[in-house]
């Protein structure tokens, strides 16, 4: 696509990441129809899609920021707030639900004292409920970052949290 130079906004976000995003967009044949790919790339780089990043993308490819915001908020994969060091995803697919994943989710909420999509104050954990990660044979399933825990019981909840807390304190 034609090389449009947009100055990164003055914010706390790292400038070099804006430059990386900018050259990624420049490398595309066309930005037409590529908004979702660009947002995937942006979220890979920044970890989330704050207002400044959305504005930057909109100006760079020449579409209204409202359109970018509309797409970001439409898809559950995109997030507008930063994530904690570890993301705990409790599977809420039907197979896990009938095996009691809502209770597991509730236990995580209580133990971490946060709601779904929120991050703990110490920035260590973000809690998510996800739709089916396709490991129904292991239901109920909890995923911490890339690691999958299968057949999780209420007793395991504290243990899982402590594993990552300990790891972090070392």
Partner 1 sequence: MKIDSIHTLEKLKEKSFKKVYLRNPNEAIYDDQKDILVCGGTGCIASDSNQLIKNLNLILKARGYDHKVNIIKTGCFGFCEQGPIVKIQPDNIFYVKVVPKDAKDIIDQHIIGGHQVERLLYKNPTNEERIHKHKDIPFYKKQLRIALRNCGRVNPEDIYEYVAFSGYEALGKALAKSPEEVIDLIKKSGLRGRGGGGFPTGLKWQLTRESEGDIKYIICNADEGDPGAFMDRSILEGDPHSIIEAMIIGGYAIGANHGIIYIRAEYPLAVERLNISIKQARELGLLGENIFNSNFNFEINIKYGAGAFVCGEETALINSVEGRRGEPSNKPPYPAQEGYWSRPTCVNNVETFANIPPIILNGPDWFSSIGTKESKGTKVFALAGKINNIGLVEVPMGTTLREIIYDVGGGIHKGHKFKAVQTGGPSGGVITEKDLDTPIDYEHLAEIGSMMGSGGMIVMDETNCMVNISKFYMEFIMDESCGRCTPCRVGTKRMHEYLQKITNGEATMENLDNLEQLAYMIKDGSLCGLGQTAPNPILSTLKYFSDEYISHIKDKVCPTKECKELSTPKNREVQI
* Rounded Cα gap, residues 147 and 156, in angstroms: 14
DSSP 71-134: HHHHSTT--SS---SEEEEEE-SHHHHTTTHHHHHHHHHHHHT--TT-B-TTS-EEEEEES--S
| CA dist., res. 151 & res. 142, Å (int) | 9
Nearest to 131 by CA among 50, 69, 75: 75
By CB under 8 A, what part of segment 35-94 binds partner 1?
35-37, 39-40, 67, 70-71, 74-78, 92-94
When binding is defined by CB under 8 A, the residue of 3, 134, 166, 170 that contacts partner 1 is 134
Q: Find residue 128's DSSP bridge partners.
A: 89
- Give CA–CA dist 60/8, Å, rounded: 10
Q: Please choose, out of 9-17, 19-27, 135-143, 160-168, the segment that lies near partner 1 by the rule CB under 8 A.
A: 135-143
Nearer Cβ to partner 1, position 48 or 78?
78
The residues pairing with 142 across neighbouring beta strands, listed in sequence order, are 90, 149
Can residue 131 be called a binding residue for partner 1 (CB under 8 A)? yes
- Verify binding: residue 95, partner 1, rule CB under 8 A: yes
Residue from 87, 136, 144, 163 touching partner 1 (CB under 8 A): that is 136
Query: Does 115 engage in binding with partner 1 (CB under 8 A)?
Result: no
- Taking the least distance from each CB to partner 1, the nearer of 16 and 103 is 103
Q: Which one of residues 4, 47, 150, 167 is an interface residue with partner 1 (CB under 8 A)?
A: 150
Binding site for partner 1 (CB under 8 A): 32-37, 39-40, 67, 70-71, 74-78, 92-95, 97-99, 102, 130-139, 141, 148, 150
């Amino acid at each position: 696509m034609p090389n449009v130079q947009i100055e990164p906004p003055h914010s706390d976000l790292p400038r070099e990441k804006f430059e990386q995003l900018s050259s990624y967009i420049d490398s595309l044949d066309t930005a037409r129809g590529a908004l979702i790919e660009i947002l995937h790339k942006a979220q890979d780089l920044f970890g989330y899609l704050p207002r400044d990043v959305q504005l930057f993308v909109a100006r760079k490819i020449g579409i209204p920021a409202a359109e970018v915001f509309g797409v970001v908020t439409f898809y559950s994969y995109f997030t507008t707030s930063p994530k904690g060091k570890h993301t705990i995803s409790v599977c809420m697919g039907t197979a896990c639900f009938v095996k009691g994943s809502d209770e597991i989710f509730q236990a995580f909420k209580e133990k971490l004292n946060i709601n779904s999509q929120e991050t703990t104050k110490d920035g260590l954990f973000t809690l998510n409920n996800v739709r089916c990660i396709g490991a129904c044979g292991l239901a109920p399933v909890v995923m911490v970052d890339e690691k999958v825990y299968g057949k999780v019981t209420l007793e395991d909840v504290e243990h899982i949290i402590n594993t990552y807390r300990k790891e972090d304190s070392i």
